[in-house]
Homo-oligomer: A and B are copies of this chain.
Amino acid sequence: MEHIYFDNSATTRVDPRVAEAMMPYFDKWYGNASSLHSFGREASEALDEARERTANAIGSKSQEIVFTSGGTESDNLAIQGVAFANRDAGDHIITSAFEHHAVLNTCRFLETQGFRVTYLPVTSVGMVDPELVKEAITKRTILVSIMTANNEIGTVQNVREIGGISHDNGLLFHTDAVQGIGKLPLEVNKDNIDLLALSAHKFHGPKGVGALFVRKGTNLRPLVYGGGQERGLRSSTENIPGIVGLGKAIELSKLELEENVARMTSVRDRIIDGTLVGVTGCRLNGHRVRRLCNNANFRFDYIDGEALVLNLDVKGFATSTGSACSARSTEASHVLKAIGIESEHARGSLRITLSKMNSMAEAEAYLETIKEVVTRLRSISPVAMLSKQEGGA
> A residues touching B (Cβ–Cβ < 8 Å)?
3, 5, 7, 10-14, 16, 19, 22-23, 26-27, 30-32, 34-40, 68-73, 75-76, 100-102, 105-106, 108-109, 199, 201, 206-209, 223-229, 235-242, 306, 309-310, 312-313, 317-321, 323-328
Contact = CB atoms under 8 A, between A and B. Distances in A.
Contact of A328 (B34, B37, B109, B326): B34
Contact of A10 (B12, B32, B324): B32
Q: Which 6 A-B pairs have the closest CB atoms?
A: A208-B239, A227-B325, A69-B69, A72-B236, A105-B225, A102-B226
B327 A105 contact: no
A72 B224 contact: yes
A39 B11 CA distance: 10
Nearest to A329: B228
B30 A327 contact: no
Contact of A325 (B11, B226, B321): B226
Contacts of A3: 37-39
A317 to B, nearest CB: 8
Copies of this chain per assembly? 2
A13 B30 contact: yes
Given A35-B318, A207-B242, 6 more contacts: A10-B31, A10-B34, A14-B26, A71-B237, A206-B241, A208-B238
A324 B34 contact: yes
13 contacts: A3-B37, A13-B30, A32-B324, A35-B327, A36-B320, A70-B239, A72-B225, A72-B227, A101-B225, A102-B226, A102-B235, A207-B241, A227-B323
Contacts of A237: 10-11, 70-72, 199, 201, 207-208, 324-325
A306 B13 CA distance: 42
A38 B75 CA distance: 29
A310 B37 CA distance: 6
A224 B76 contact: yes
A72 B229 CA distance: 11
Nearest to A75: B226
A101 B236 CA distance: 10
A229 B323 CA distance: 13
Contacts of A72: 224-227, 235-237
Nearest to A39: B318
Contacts of A309: 36-37
Contact of A101 (B36, B73, B226): B226
A37 B208 contact: no
A37 B7 contact: yes
A27 B241 CA distance: 15
B105 A36 contact: no
A251 B229 CA distance: 29
Contact of A242 (B7, B208, B327): B208
Given A102-B235, A235-B102, A36 B306 contact: yes
